[in-house]
Each structure stands twice: as structure tokens, then as C-alpha cells.
Amino acid sequence: MTLNDVQRAALALFAARAAGPRGSLEQMKAIALCIRKRVWDGWYDGSWLSVIEHADEVAAHLPPVTPYYLDPNSRIFQRFIVDIDELFHMYRSPQKAPIGTQTAQQVSIDGNSIGDCCYWMYLGQPIRPWFQQHVLNNQAKHRAQMGLMMFLE
């Protein structure tokens, strides 16, 4: 096992849990893309594990009171882990992208542009004061919405 294997697994588990028990495949992918954007922007030390481990510090909501246990038999979760390699290894700059691959600026999931987003929140859930002050009050750009989920730059 390599560090990249561990990081991809951590990303898949984090995004699936963050999407929650009713999360769609597209929402899981969008959360993974937000984490990837944070890594590319150099948050914390710029490593995948550090960004994932500190994700709760910049979350829109408090962690759930009751834990959400992943179902390894969930077809949505199984489809997501098949796609995690593409999300993890997607090229950052158009100059380096082989023909036929998407770049971060082109990422669209379910018709929503997610490539530049670093934050997500659920509509109708209480917002943490930190998130309100530092993200929402800081003129964050609303970039995409999927169901009851909003993604922000």
C-alpha cells in the first residue's frame, strides 16, 4: 500500500460520510472536488490527509450527533469509490492535461460547476458561527446547488 492509496481511501470515506445517509453520487463527487481544490490551494500543508483531517474546522455545520455508518453494500457508495481515482488524479492545468481529460475549470457534475469551490453546506441546517462570519459574510460566491446542498468558492 502506498501513501496515495491511503489518501484516496481517506478522500472516499470522508466525502461519503460528509454527503450523509441520503447523499447522492454527484454530491459525494462534489465534496471530493472541494477537498481537492483545498489541496491544490495549499490549505494547511497542502497534503490530502491534512486537508481531510482539518475539514471539520471549516465546515458549515457541526458534526452530527449520531454517527453515520457507511454501508459497503450501497450501490451509490460502490460507484463512488470506482470514480475516486479520476477525481483524485484529475489534472489541474489545461497545459498538462492529455487530450480528452477534464481540467479543474471544466468540472461539471450534474450540470453544476464545482471546480473552483472549497465549501459546501446544506440548506435548512443550522450554520456554525465561524462559517457565517468567515465564508457567508465574506462575499463567498455561490457556484452550484444540488438538491438541498450549496457549493461556494
- Per-residue pLDDT of 49-99, as tens digits, reads 999 999 999 999 998 878 889 999 999 999 999 999 888 877 554 444 444
What one-character DSSP code corresponds to residue 97?
P
Closest CA to 78 of 89, 67, 86, 70: 70
Q: Out of 12-26, 49-63, 110-124, 130-144, which region has the weakest mean confidence (pLDDT)?
A: 110-124
98-104: average pLDDT? 44
pTM (predicted TM-score): 0.85
Percentage of the chain beyond pLDDT 70 is 85
Number of domains present in the structure of the chain: 1
Look up residue 110 and give its three cell numbers.
Answer: 450534474
8-21: average pLDDT? 94
Residue numbers of the domain that contains 82: 3-152
